[in-house]
Structure 1
Amino acid sequence: MPRINLSINEDLYKQLQKVADKQKVTVNSLILEAIEEKYSTRVRYDYTTALKLMISESRKMDGEFTLSDLQTFKDVDQVLIENHINESPASVRARLGKMYNEAVKKGVVKGIERAVFMKNGVEKLKFLCRAAVYSNKLSKAASKK
Protein backbone atom coordinates (compact mmCIF):
# COMPACT_ATOMS: atom_id res chain seq x y z
CA MET A 1 0.00 0.00 0.00
CA PRO A 2 1.50 3.37 -0.96
CA ARG A 3 2.32 5.88 1.77
CA ILE A 4 2.30 9.67 1.66
CA ASN A 5 4.27 11.95 3.97
CA LEU A 6 2.55 15.27 4.50
CA SER A 7 4.01 18.29 6.27
CA ILE A 8 1.60 20.97 7.48
CA ASN A 9 1.93 24.02 9.70
CA GLU A 10 1.19 23.84 13.42
CA ASP A 11 -2.02 25.91 13.21
CA LEU A 12 -3.57 23.62 10.62
CA TYR A 13 -2.56 20.57 12.64
CA LYS A 14 -4.21 21.99 15.77
CA GLN A 15 -7.44 22.60 13.83
CA LEU A 16 -7.38 19.07 12.42
CA GLN A 17 -6.66 17.66 15.89
CA LYS A 18 -9.71 19.44 17.34
CA VAL A 19 -11.97 18.02 14.64
CA ALA A 20 -10.44 14.55 14.98
CA ASP A 21 -10.90 14.61 18.76
CA LYS A 22 -14.57 15.55 18.36
CA GLN A 23 -15.06 12.68 15.93
CA LYS A 24 -13.00 10.34 18.16
CA VAL A 25 -10.59 9.46 15.36
CA THR A 26 -6.93 10.13 14.64
CA VAL A 27 -5.79 13.05 12.50
CA ASN A 28 -4.49 10.55 9.97
CA SER A 29 -7.90 8.88 9.73
CA LEU A 30 -9.63 12.24 9.42
CA ILE A 31 -7.40 13.30 6.53
CA LEU A 32 -7.66 9.93 4.78
CA GLU A 33 -11.46 9.95 5.05
CA ALA A 34 -11.63 13.49 3.61
CA ILE A 35 -9.37 12.55 0.69
CA GLU A 36 -11.33 9.36 -0.01
CA GLU A 37 -14.66 11.23 0.09
CA LYS A 38 -13.40 13.79 -2.38
CA TYR A 39 -11.43 11.63 -4.82
CA SER A 40 -12.34 7.96 -4.48
CA THR A 41 -14.89 6.55 -6.88
CA ARG A 42 -15.03 3.12 -5.27
CA VAL A 43 -16.94 1.85 -2.26
CA ARG A 44 -14.89 2.50 0.88
CA TYR A 45 -14.63 0.68 4.18
CA ASP A 46 -16.37 2.79 6.84
CA TYR A 47 -13.69 3.06 9.53
CA THR A 48 -15.64 5.55 11.65
CA THR A 49 -18.65 3.24 11.95
CA ALA A 50 -16.43 0.22 12.53
CA LEU A 51 -14.56 2.02 15.32
CA LYS A 52 -17.83 3.00 17.01
CA LEU A 53 -19.01 -0.61 16.83
CA MET A 54 -15.71 -1.87 18.25
CA ILE A 55 -15.96 0.58 21.15
CA SER A 56 -19.50 -0.59 21.86
CA GLU A 57 -18.47 -4.25 21.68
CA SER A 58 -15.45 -3.72 23.93
CA ARG A 59 -17.64 -2.25 26.67
CA LYS A 60 -19.46 -5.60 26.79
CA MET A 61 -16.26 -7.64 27.15
CA ASP A 62 -15.43 -9.26 30.49
CA GLY A 63 -11.93 -8.56 31.76
CA GLU A 64 -9.07 -8.75 29.27
CA PHE A 65 -9.46 -9.08 25.50
CA THR A 66 -7.71 -8.47 22.19
CA LEU A 67 -9.28 -6.80 19.16
CA SER A 68 -9.69 -10.20 17.50
CA ASP A 69 -12.28 -10.96 20.21
CA LEU A 70 -14.49 -8.16 18.86
CA GLN A 71 -17.02 -9.20 16.21
CA THR A 72 -16.51 -6.12 14.01
CA PHE A 73 -12.76 -6.79 13.89
CA LYS A 74 -13.38 -10.49 13.12
CA ASP A 75 -15.83 -9.69 10.33
CA VAL A 76 -13.52 -7.43 8.30
CA ASP A 77 -12.93 -10.09 5.60
CA GLN A 78 -16.66 -10.73 5.22
CA VAL A 79 -17.53 -7.00 5.00
CA LEU A 80 -14.86 -6.43 2.36
CA ILE A 81 -16.13 -9.34 0.25
CA GLU A 82 -19.83 -8.52 0.61
CA ASN A 83 -19.30 -4.86 -0.32
CA HIS A 84 -16.74 -5.53 -3.08
CA ILE A 85 -14.19 -3.33 -1.34
CA ASN A 86 -10.72 -3.71 -2.83
CA GLU A 87 -8.62 -3.41 0.33
CA SER A 88 -6.61 -6.03 2.11
CA PRO A 89 -8.09 -7.29 5.39
CA ALA A 90 -4.68 -6.90 7.02
CA SER A 91 -4.42 -3.21 6.16
CA VAL A 92 -8.00 -2.55 7.30
CA ARG A 93 -7.35 -4.33 10.60
CA ALA A 94 -4.05 -2.47 11.05
CA ARG A 95 -5.78 0.88 10.60
CA LEU A 96 -8.67 -0.11 12.87
CA GLY A 97 -6.18 -1.25 15.50
CA LYS A 98 -4.33 2.07 15.38
CA MET A 99 -7.57 4.01 15.59
CA TYR A 100 -8.84 1.93 18.52
CA ASN A 101 -5.54 2.13 20.39
CA GLU A 102 -5.44 5.90 19.93
CA ALA A 103 -9.01 6.22 21.22
CA VAL A 104 -8.11 4.15 24.31
CA LYS A 105 -4.93 6.17 24.85
CA LYS A 106 -6.89 9.43 24.72
CA GLY A 107 -9.49 8.14 27.18
CA VAL A 108 -12.30 8.18 24.62
CA VAL A 109 -13.25 4.58 25.44
CA LYS A 110 -14.36 4.95 29.05
CA GLY A 111 -13.45 1.99 31.24
CA ILE A 112 -11.13 0.41 28.68
CA GLU A 113 -7.37 0.51 29.21
CA ARG A 114 -4.33 -1.27 27.88
CA ALA A 115 -3.69 -4.33 30.07
CA VAL A 116 -0.42 -4.24 31.97
CA PHE A 117 1.72 -6.54 34.09
CA MET A 118 4.68 -6.03 36.42
CA LYS A 119 8.13 -7.25 35.45
CA ASN A 120 11.05 -6.57 37.78
CA GLY A 121 9.05 -3.81 39.44
CA VAL A 122 8.32 -2.08 36.12
CA GLU A 123 4.87 -1.88 34.56
CA LYS A 124 4.83 -3.32 31.01
CA LEU A 125 2.10 -3.38 28.36
CA LYS A 126 0.57 -6.80 27.87
CA PHE A 127 0.53 -8.55 24.47
CA LEU A 128 -0.86 -11.90 23.36
CA CYS A 129 0.81 -13.27 20.23
CA ARG A 130 1.96 -9.72 19.40
CA ALA A 131 -1.61 -8.38 19.73
CA ALA A 132 -2.31 -5.61 22.24
CA VAL A 133 -4.35 -6.75 25.22
CA TYR A 134 -7.01 -4.43 26.60
CA SER A 135 -8.89 -4.56 29.87
CA ASN A 136 -12.48 -3.61 30.57
CA LYS A 137 -12.12 -2.07 34.02
CA LEU A 138 -15.91 -1.77 34.35
CA SER A 139 -16.68 -5.46 33.71
CA LYS A 140 -17.73 -7.85 36.44
CA ALA A 141 -14.59 -9.97 35.89
CA ALA A 142 -12.30 -6.95 36.29
CA SER A 143 -14.04 -5.75 39.45
CA LYS A 144 -13.52 -9.18 41.12
CA LYS A 145 -9.71 -8.85 40.84
Structure 2
Amino acid sequence: MSLDRLAPAIFVLLWSTGWVVAKYAAIHSEPFTFLAIRFALSALAFLALCLVLRVQWPGRAVMWKAIYSGLFLHGFYLGGLWWAIANGVPAGISGIIAALQPLLTAMAAPLLIGERLQPVQKAGLALGFVGIAIAISPKL
Protein backbone atom coordinates (compact mmCIF):
# COMPACT_ATOMS: atom_id res chain seq x y z
CA MET A 1 0.00 0.00 0.00
CA SER A 2 1.39 3.38 -1.00
CA LEU A 3 1.88 6.34 1.29
CA ASP A 4 -0.78 8.20 -0.73
CA ARG A 5 -3.39 5.73 0.49
CA LEU A 6 -2.12 5.71 4.08
CA ALA A 7 -1.67 9.48 4.44
CA PRO A 8 -5.35 10.29 5.18
CA ALA A 9 -5.55 7.62 7.89
CA ILE A 10 -2.27 8.76 9.43
CA PHE A 11 -3.47 12.37 9.37
CA VAL A 12 -6.78 11.49 11.08
CA LEU A 13 -4.96 9.42 13.72
CA LEU A 14 -2.48 12.19 14.50
CA TRP A 15 -5.10 14.95 14.41
CA SER A 16 -7.61 13.12 16.59
CA THR A 17 -5.06 12.30 19.28
CA GLY A 18 -4.15 15.99 19.63
CA TRP A 19 -6.77 16.65 22.31
CA VAL A 20 -5.57 13.74 24.43
CA VAL A 21 -2.00 14.99 24.12
CA ALA A 22 -3.12 18.55 24.94
CA LYS A 23 -4.91 17.41 28.09
CA TYR A 24 -1.89 15.56 29.45
CA ALA A 25 0.70 18.03 28.20
CA ALA A 26 -1.13 20.85 30.02
CA ILE A 27 -0.38 19.10 33.31
CA HIS A 28 3.38 19.16 32.68
CA SER A 29 4.07 22.19 30.50
CA GLU A 30 2.88 25.65 29.59
CA PRO A 31 0.88 25.25 26.36
CA PHE A 32 2.83 27.73 24.23
CA THR A 33 6.17 26.24 25.27
CA PHE A 34 4.95 22.76 24.42
CA LEU A 35 3.57 23.90 21.05
CA ALA A 36 6.79 25.78 20.21
CA ILE A 37 8.81 22.63 20.84
CA ARG A 38 6.28 20.52 18.94
CA PHE A 39 6.32 22.87 15.93
CA ALA A 40 10.12 23.08 15.93
CA LEU A 41 10.44 19.28 15.95
CA SER A 42 7.80 19.00 13.22
CA ALA A 43 9.63 21.57 11.10
CA LEU A 44 12.90 19.68 11.49
CA ALA A 45 11.24 16.38 10.57
CA PHE A 46 9.59 18.00 7.55
CA LEU A 47 12.86 19.60 6.45
CA ALA A 48 14.67 16.25 6.77
CA LEU A 49 11.96 14.52 4.73
CA CYS A 50 12.14 17.21 2.04
CA LEU A 51 15.92 16.93 1.85
CA VAL A 52 15.82 13.13 1.63
CA LEU A 53 13.17 13.24 -1.09
CA ARG A 54 14.92 16.15 -2.83
CA VAL A 55 11.73 18.11 -3.31
CA GLN A 56 11.64 21.35 -5.23
CA TRP A 57 11.16 24.31 -2.88
CA PRO A 58 8.27 26.66 -3.57
CA GLY A 59 8.75 30.21 -4.74
CA ARG A 60 8.87 33.11 -2.30
CA ALA A 61 5.17 34.05 -2.75
CA VAL A 62 3.96 30.50 -2.08
CA MET A 63 6.33 30.19 0.87
CA TRP A 64 4.93 33.36 2.51
CA LYS A 65 1.35 32.13 1.98
CA ALA A 66 2.28 28.86 3.68
CA ILE A 67 3.90 30.74 6.57
CA TYR A 68 0.98 33.01 7.32
CA SER A 69 -1.52 30.18 6.79
CA GLY A 70 0.46 28.13 9.29
CA LEU A 71 0.51 31.00 11.76
CA PHE A 72 -3.25 31.35 11.62
CA LEU A 73 -4.16 27.68 11.39
CA HIS A 74 -1.68 26.32 13.86
CA GLY A 75 -0.41 29.27 15.83
CA PHE A 76 -3.68 30.99 16.67
CA TYR A 77 -6.05 28.05 16.35
CA LEU A 78 -4.01 25.43 18.21
CA GLY A 79 -2.48 27.99 20.53
CA GLY A 80 -5.91 29.17 21.61
CA LEU A 81 -7.21 25.64 21.89
CA TRP A 82 -4.29 24.44 24.02
CA TRP A 83 -4.46 27.57 26.17
CA ALA A 84 -8.16 26.89 26.79
CA ILE A 85 -7.48 23.27 27.76
CA ALA A 86 -4.64 24.35 30.06
CA ASN A 87 -7.06 26.79 31.71
CA GLY A 88 -9.75 24.23 32.43
CA VAL A 89 -11.88 23.80 29.32
CA PRO A 90 -12.47 20.04 28.96
CA ALA A 91 -10.69 18.50 25.99
CA GLY A 92 -13.95 17.00 24.73
CA ILE A 93 -15.73 20.36 24.70
CA SER A 94 -12.83 22.06 22.94
CA GLY A 95 -12.83 19.22 20.40
CA ILE A 96 -16.50 19.79 19.70
CA ILE A 97 -15.94 23.53 19.29
CA ALA A 98 -13.06 22.80 16.92
CA ALA A 99 -15.28 20.40 14.97
CA LEU A 100 -17.49 23.37 14.13
CA GLN A 101 -14.63 25.01 12.21
CA PRO A 102 -15.50 23.47 8.79
CA LEU A 103 -19.14 24.48 9.21
CA LEU A 104 -18.23 28.05 10.13
CA THR A 105 -15.75 28.22 7.25
CA ALA A 106 -18.39 27.00 4.81
CA MET A 107 -20.83 29.59 6.10
CA ALA A 108 -18.26 32.38 5.76
CA ALA A 109 -16.89 31.38 2.32
CA PRO A 110 -19.79 32.77 0.26
CA LEU A 111 -19.63 36.07 2.11
CA LEU A 112 -15.85 36.47 2.15
CA ILE A 113 -14.64 34.94 -1.10
CA GLY A 114 -17.79 34.21 -3.10
CA GLU A 115 -17.30 30.43 -3.02
CA ARG A 116 -20.50 28.42 -3.34
CA LEU A 117 -20.84 24.91 -1.94
CA GLN A 118 -21.79 21.97 -4.13
CA PRO A 119 -24.78 19.84 -3.00
CA VAL A 120 -22.51 16.97 -1.92
CA GLN A 121 -20.47 19.41 0.19
CA LYS A 122 -23.64 20.73 1.81
CA ALA A 123 -24.70 17.15 2.57
CA GLY A 124 -21.31 16.41 4.12
CA LEU A 125 -21.48 19.51 6.31
CA ALA A 126 -25.04 18.66 7.35
CA LEU A 127 -23.91 15.16 8.29
CA GLY A 128 -21.01 16.62 10.28
CA PHE A 129 -23.37 19.01 12.05
CA VAL A 130 -25.65 16.11 12.99
CA GLY A 131 -22.61 14.30 14.39
CA ILE A 132 -21.66 17.34 16.47
CA ALA A 133 -25.24 17.70 17.69
CA ILE A 134 -25.27 14.05 18.78
CA ALA A 135 -21.92 14.50 20.54
CA ILE A 136 -23.01 17.57 22.51
CA SER A 137 -26.60 16.51 23.21
CA PRO A 138 -25.72 14.77 26.53
CA LYS A 139 -24.13 18.04 27.73
CA LEU A 140 -27.26 20.08 26.95
TM-score (norm 1): 0.28
Query: Which structure's CA Rg is the greater one?
Result: 2
TM-score (norm 2): 0.29
- Higher RCO by CA contacts (8 Å cutoff, separation 6 or greater): 2
Which structure: greater helix fraction?
A: 2
